[in-house]
Amino acid sequence: MLGPVPEPTPPAAPLAPAPAAATAPPDFVQELDTLVRARYPLVWLVTSEEQRLEALLGELAARHGKALLALPGLAALREKAPARFDDTVRDALLELLYASGSDIVLLPFQDLFGHRERVNVPGTVTEQNWTYRMTSTLSRLIADGESRRRLRSLAERHGRAGRH
């Protein structure tokens, strides 16, 4: 339902001036709006304008009658203010993802180990795109007991061990 229909303007009444043309929102705002309407459970945004983005997200959420939720685990990362992406940051992000209410958590292989290589370069077409190769051999992965214990513990703590 679009709302109440306004009373028709009498024919003799002068027409009101047209409102000033509103500028279209930036493309990323339109894309975010689409993601909110599509019910994406998690949207990852990187910005140097955190307060401005939070205000914009609040407006989008309100416009669609949605709640805007902050991930409390990220506050802990903010307090530590890590200077670089390290194992502590990797593990904090993995904890948040595994603790999510999603039925399925799918992660690229390199994210589980904190690797920084890119799978592709957006906007380019080259022979290297989508040709990621693991930096470890299978035998080294099998022998990496510390990573196996870390990932198994993560899955067990969040009830995701042994799920198909």
Question: Quick one: pLDDT band at residue 126, thresholds 50, 70, 90?
Answer: confident
In this model, does residue 148 exceed pLDDT 90?
yes
Q: What percent of the chain has pLDDT over 70?
A: 68
Q: What is the pLDDT of residue 153?
A: 95
For the cut 80, the answer to whether the pLDDT of residue 43 exceeds it is no
Q: What is the pLDDT of residue 147?
A: 93
Q: Give this prediction's pTM.
A: 0.52
Contact between 144 and 136 under an 8 Å Cβ cutoff? The reply is yes
Reduced to 3 DSSP states, what percent helix, strand and coil does the chain have, rounded to the nearest 5? 45, 0, 55
Average model confidence (pLDDT) for the chain? 76
pLDDT tens across 63-97, in order?
888 777 665 556 666 666 667 778 888 888 898 88
- According to DSSP, residue 102 is labeled -
Q: Which range is least confidently modeled, 40-44, 61-65, 72-76, 149-153?
A: 72-76
Residue 94 CB neighbour total at 10 angstroms: 19
Could you tell me the pLDDT band of residue 2, with boundaries at 50, 70 and 90? very low
Helices 72-80 & 87-98, crossing angle to 10 degrees? 170
- Is the model's pLDDT at 39 over the cut of 70? yes
